[in-house]
A = this chain, B = another copy of it.
Amino acid sequence: MATIRDVAKRAGVSVATVSRVLNETGYVHADTKAAVIKAIKELNYKPNYVARSLYKKSSRLIGLILPDITNPFFPELARAVEDVAHQYGYTVVLCNSDGDLEKEKNYLDVLTQNHADGLIVTTNRQNNMNYIDLDIPVVALDRTLHESIPEVRADHYGGGKMATELLIQRGCTFIAHVRGPSQLGPADERCRGFVNAAEQAGIAYHIVESQFDIPISEQTVSELLDTYPQIDGIFAGNDLIAVAAVKVALKRGISIPEELQVVGFDGIPLSACFYPAITTIVQPIYEMGKWATELLIQLITKKNIAAKTHCFPVKLAERETTKRMG
């Protein structure tokens, strides 16, 4: 590996001059510049980012902390983050925290000690003290970390309402919400949206709690349908729960959407390729990841900007688990 010193020697100049042409800082004569560039080419010189980081106290590394890349919600988010980061010359470090505070703390240390320039966090715990006073910018994605930390999120409440209203409008008479885990912000808000819409319409409803997991939700839905066979509409807390609901119904010979209508949430790829394709409330996942990363990079570069929380609208994707009208 050639160093800046090798280049300087070969070009017959000092390292300072080489550095100047490298960073386009300060004056340098056209001829010397050409000589330096020639030497760089000949030696195939590439600056050592580690040395640069040491001096600059900035590594152009961004940490992406998420619970589990294996969860189908996250790959698209990760892709967006990585795309934007790379575009701005940043590099993404992948961290699967499993929502484990200890593990998170550990990643945080590694990231800090590597002088990461910023963090995008999608974690499960609220009021997570790990992230305040961190002296690098942090953006919370799809989660609330702390009031001091800007968030990029979707309108879960509005989405919950929208889903519920669709079920009602499509003629359901007894609707259920199989909600995600309590204490998870988005699950709570979706539930609130459901309740609000149901109350407002004066429709009979029931709520049951599950996990964002297909097998567990199959069990939950199964019990739900045993207890309330009159249910003709389900708003699932997310697409995984929706898939579980559809499978359970189909296995019981309940026809979808004729006898039971189902609406999911998230708009993960699975929802579209499932058969029947699942009607769902789509979050603009890629856009959210993109926005979060752009915001983070702004925070990194011009520390003075006001970091504002941003809420994305959601969109209904009507597919085959609800009745098509008209």
Residues of A within 8 A of B (CB): 46-51, 53-54, 59, 64, 68-70, 72, 74-76, 78-79, 82-83, 86, 91-96, 107, 109-110, 112-115, 214, 243, 246-247, 250-251, 269-270, 273-275
Contact = CB atoms under 8 A, between A and B. Distances in A.
A78 B82 contact: no
Contacts of A74: 75
Chain A contact residues, majority secondary structure:
helix
A94 B96 contact: no
A49 B74 CA distance: 29
Contact of A114 (B49, B70, B86): B49
A-B pairs, top 9 by smallest CB distance, nearest first, are A49-B113, A94-B94, A69-B75, A49-B114, A50-B53, A247-B275, A70-B75, A50-B54, A70-B79
B78 A69 contact: yes
B113 A94 contact: no
Nearest to A51: B54
Contacts of A112: 46
Nearest to A71: B75
25 contacts: A46-B109, A46-B113, A48-B54, A49-B110, A49-B113, A50-B59, A50-B114, A50-B115, A54-B54, A69-B79, A70-B75, A70-B79, A72-B72, A72-B75, A74-B75, A86-B107, A91-B93, A92-B94, A93-B93, A94-B94, A243-B273, A243-B275, A250-B275, A251-B275, A275-B275
Given A92-B93, A94-B92, A273 B273 contact: no
Contacts of A46: 109, 112-113
